[in-house]
Chain A
Amino acid sequence: MNTKINFAGIEMKNPVTVASGTFGYGREYSEFFDLGLLGAVITKGTSLKPKSGNKPPRVCETASGMLNSIGLQNPGVEYFATNDLPYLRKFDTKIIVNACGSSIEEYVELCKILNTLDIDGVELNLSCPNVKEGCMAFGNTYEGVRKVTSEVRKVLDKPLIVKLTPNVTDIASIAKGVEDGGADAVSLINTLLGMKIDIYKKKPVLANNTGGLSGPAIKPVAVRMVYQVAQAVNIPIMGLGGIVSGEDAVEFMLAGATAISIGAGNFIDPYTSIKTIAGIEEYMKKCDINDINEIIGKVEMNG
């Protein structure tokens, strides 16, 4: 049985990765299992300079999911390179750094540094809904996405993945901007913008008022978008949004994803990603599939 995939030039032992912002830089979860079991680790969103993040409360629970408004708190790329990367490198897994910035120049500066590091790929975060400047500002038009992607492409030789926001009217056209900008792959979806109100205080629960919705609640939206993007572009797709099991992962792959990420699912069970790998293998056995690559994009639409 083969579970190996090649995602945008990154050879992974299986299609299961962990999503940015739900796995830190790997240390905490490495106390539960060998990170070498994962196809890849996608790091916490990392910026050129440290960011302290938003005011609390930053998270709250919703129906089969959660809202977050962390605000990309991270120690900055220099700290990552010195303190976290060497630790992550000890594990036999691929390392993809999620990169965020607030201007094209910042993305470019950051990616110049990332290009010199011992990492396997960069995921450009154009989709965080919780910071005013940057990120999503670039992520919601074809031209915005194409422009920043192509500028980064000029300085980055490593595999380039661009992560998209679902908070747009036409996801396929945005994904086209990623492809036209010269990226190697696209990942989707980031969180859906949401809000929860405390009815007694008559105020939003999150200090930032709105936040990004994740968890199984958003899975059908994500599957639909992955399918739509798969029809529009020829670059591979990293699918994510509410995956908590092997069955969920297979759904994304049938819709067109080559690899998938476990996000908020890590929070409810540290072993969700490992269980997802086992679940994919179980499905393969059950359906007599020898190579996981056979199922990518194989959904048969109703006529």
Chain B
Amino acid sequence: MPKQILAQLLKKEEIIKDVFQYSVKADEIVNIAKPGQFIEIRVSDQTEPFLRRPISIYNLDKENGILEFIVQVKGKGTELLSRKEIGDKIDIIGPLGFGTFKFSQYEKIAIIGGGIGIFPLYELAKQAKKEGKEVHCYLGFRNKDFVMLEKEFQGVTDKLVITTDDGTYANKGFAIDYLKEDMETEKYECIFACGPIPMLRVVKEYTDNHNTNCQISLEEKMGCGLGVCLGCAVKTAKSPKEAPEYFHVCKGGPVFNAKDVEF
């Protein structure tokens, strides 16, 4: 059951250029949130910008009731958010989304993320590792300037592969290609993915073809975030093109079984 709270900003840090990590006190949300869920932030108490911003949960510090999320400054809403100061109250609704990452039934999993899509994967890796799962993680970035959270992911994975498209840091190329190569020898029971749509398409195609379990976290423009406005539609895989049926990212998702959706 989502809550609306005014959460105090405890810490704000620019982890790479224009990407801010926020830590807020949010016991009510942290206590019930699951990996893969998101929150909706109202960045202004006026009506401009109008809509809340859906933001994925990065880290849940259950012990201290601290919620962490990471946001790239992309437009006026995220820019306003980046101007919040320590001690400010942030209007947050969460946790949201009924489609969460489900890992309990697996012993060995692979996680793949690209760019700012890596954020919701951290809590998943952390919880899976804590439950004794073998966690391999593949994170892709454009170039060395965009590489982030390497140390953090290192701490919650058994194997971490970092790639940059241009090879300016770590391995050159796409994370998915490294994952595919490893899948020839490793037996991953499920792949968890979040990132740019072209990356997710490749992951879906590959796991569909190899009949591998795959859970992906999707994004779509949202109105309410609660499952009311039905704005954030994503086509179901079973429905025909002429008569498409839809799930909604905010309610059915944001995490879906890759074989159930088309995007």
Contact = CB atoms under 8 A, between A and B. Distances in A.
A58 B231 contact: yes
B223 interface: yes
A205 B226 CA distance: 22
Given A22-B228, A73-B233, A62 B246 contact: no
Contacts of A269: 4, 42, 91
B220 A56 contact: yes
B199 interface: no
A264 B47 CA distance: 11
B2 interface: yes
A28 B228 contact: yes
Contacts of B50: 61-66, 215-216, 264, 268
B221 A266 contact: no
A59 B222 CA distance: 7
Contacts of B52: 267-268
Contact of B93 (A56, A58, A63, A270): A270
A57 B246 CA distance: 12
Interface in B90-120: 91, 93
A29 interface: yes
Given A73-B246, A271-B4, A266 B230 contact: no
Contacts of A29: 226, 228
Interface in A247-293: 264, 266-271
B245 A52 contact: yes
Question: How many A residues touch the partner, as a band?
Answer: 35 or more
Contact of B223 (A32, A63, A73, A267): A267
Contact of B232 (A56, A61, A64): A56
Contacts of B223: 59, 66, 68, 264, 267
A264 B52 CA distance: 12
Given A52-B243, A52-B246, A68-B223, A268 B230 contact: no
B227 interface: yes
B234 interface: yes
A59 B220 CA distance: 9
A268 B235 CA distance: 26
A28 B226 contact: yes
B161 interface: no
A267 B229 CA distance: 8
B49 interface: yes
A216 B47 contact: yes
Contact of B228 (A56, A60, A266): A266
A80 interface: no
Contact of A59 (B221, B244, B246): B221
B181 interface: no
Contacts of A32: 2, 4
B53 to A, nearest CB: 10
A64 B93 CA distance: 20
Interface in B2-60: 2, 4, 42, 47-52
A24 B233 CA distance: 15
A142 interface: no
A268 B224 CA distance: 7
Contacts of A23: 228
21 contacts: A22-B229, A28-B226, A31-B1, A52-B244, A55-B233, A56-B231, A56-B234, A57-B221, A58-B231, A59-B232, A61-B49, A61-B50, A68-B223, A70-B229, A70-B231, A73-B230, A215-B47, A267-B52, A268-B50, A268-B51, A270-B4
- List of 7 A-B pairs having minimum Cβ-Cβ separation, nearest first: A59-B231, A24-B228, A56-B233, A267-B224, A59-B223, A28-B226, A216-B47
Interface of A: 21-24, 28-29, 31-32, 52-66, 68, 70, 73, 205, 215-216, 244, 264, 266-271
Interface of B: 1-2, 4, 42, 47-52, 91, 93, 220-235, 239, 243-246
